[in-house]
Amino acid sequence: MSGTHTDAAISRRVRKLEALLEERGIVAGAALDEALDAFLTGSSPLNGARIVARAWTDPAFKERLLADGTSAVAELGYAAGGVQPQRLRVVENTARTHNVIVCTLCSCYPVRLLGPSPSWYKSEAYRSRVVREPRAVLAEFGCVLPADTEITVWNSSAETRYLVLPRRPAGTEDLTEQALTDLVTRNALIGTATL
């Protein structure tokens, strides 16, 4: 997605916060680095892809996933939250509906399931525009949907994270769960791509 956002402003704010925490003796820089490293270990879009592949191959799991994403992903050993627990809501793309995720306030995102968020997800341009003109923003990602497809934009928050369950590609009925996992992209899990 094009835009004028750079990560420099966010980086400056994060560094300022880190410096304040260190100055006040709340946390040592090394401890903060260790906590971040531990948090990111195992955080990957592959986790979300595995969840999707399981849903595509196991109808009972898919039903549980759509009813209570938090509990369903826990069955596979995953959590939606980060430092504090969050609720995970999974929204399904169909032939008539397409879902896309945003956090308009900041950049809330299920890091454990999707890995570190892409810079465009954090950008002010994406956060403001996808709500007002989702079809145009999706087209900038190369995701051009039929005119009669209803687009729903879901706003993540500190309490609730979202994951898109993409439509299973046609012709994949004979693929194994692992092969299906390999088809799923991070952007499809956010809703800025189809498979």
**Which structural domains are found in the chain, ordered by start?**
43-190 (3.90.330.10)
Contact between residue 141 and residue 192 where contact means Cβ atoms under 8 Å apart: yes
106 flagged as catalytic? yes
Q: Per-residue pLDDT tens for 26-61?
A: 877 777 666 666 656 678 999 999 999 999 999 999
143 flagged as catalytic? no
Given the residues 44, 71, 108, 157, the one annotated as active site: 108
108 flagged as catalytic? yes
Q: Per-residue pLDDT tens for 159-186?
A: 899 999 999 999 999 999 999 999 999 9
Angle at 153 between CA 127 and CA 75, to 5 degrees: 105
Given the residues 11, 44, 71, 103, the one annotated as active site: 103
Structure token digits, residue 147? 């005119």
- This prediction's pTM: 0.81
What residues form DSSP beta bridges with 150? 97
CB contact set of 143 (below 8 Å; sequence gap of 6+):
192, 193, 194
